Structure 1
């Protein structure tokens, strides 16, 4: 099976490195990192994406990651791509789920067995 593609949006550099390491050490994935909403949407439209990870607040401009989630879910060509919010706060995770995301994870939970299993399921590797 070919590697899955994950687009990670709006993480700071240290978090990008940590999330990329987490994904690559647990799954056969290619990780594409983007910084801003427009670049992120263009990247997602240009490739076969299996999962989108969105930071709650984008590091580059502090815009709201939930706006990207809403844009993805309103676009009929992109709405079926699984999206997870990267946030340590369960209340924000619930807001994202209510907007169409799959329950995500926080940076503090990267090596948690629950996080690994949740991501495995979303990538269709269960």
Structure 2
């Protein structure tokens, strides 16, 4: 079973993302809302994929800052990280920071989103 960490999603989006993932792969999805709880879970678990919302649901921190923090920590830098955003510029910035190409919520049930995730956890 693959393990995925979903960071910064509201309840509605987290449910949709989890349903999408569970419908295509055998996964366990954990959830955090910002850097503090993310770091706590990362210190205790290994993840096959980390999904980061463009804006954190609770404090509206930019997801880019989370990605940069993940990629700057040696123990997390090799974990695949994917930005969840409909905005092309946010996707480009995430990739520049070391993320793998991601997708937006509007593409959640598309073959494109499935192919991007499958390339990581397939």
TM-score by length of 1: 0.94
Instruction: Note the alpha carbon deviations across 1:78-105, whole angstroms, 9 max, x for none.
Output: 1000000010011110010000000101
Query: d(CA) in 2 for partners of 1:120 and 1:53?
Result: 13
Alignment RMSD: 0.7
Query: d(CA) in 2 for partners of 1:14 and 1:27?
Result: 20
Structure 2 portions without partners, runs of 5+: none
Instruction: Note the alpha carbon deviations across 1:51-102, whole angstroms, 9 max, x for none.
Output: 0000011011101111111111111111000000010011110010000000
Query: d(CA) in 2 for partners of 1:70 and 1:119?
Result: 20
1:8 to 6, 9, 12: 6
SS in 1 for 2:91: helix
Alignment of 1:28-47 (within 5 A): 28-47=26-45
Query: d(CA) in 1 for partners of 2:53 and 2:101?
Result: 13
TM-score by length of 2: 0.97
Query: d(CA) in 1 for partners of 2:103 and 2:42?
Result: 21
Query: d(CA) in 2 for partners of 1:109 and 1:40?
Result: 25
Query: d(CA) in 1 for partners of 2:89 and 2:56?
Result: 18
Quote how far apart the aligned CAs of 1:42 are.
Answer: 1.3
2:23 to 22, 25, 41: 25
Structure 1 portions without partners, runs of 5+: none
Instruction: Note the alpha carbon deviations across 1:18-63, whole angstroms, 9 max, x for none.
Output: 0000000111110001112110121122101100000011011101
Q: Does 1:91 pair with 2:76?
A: no
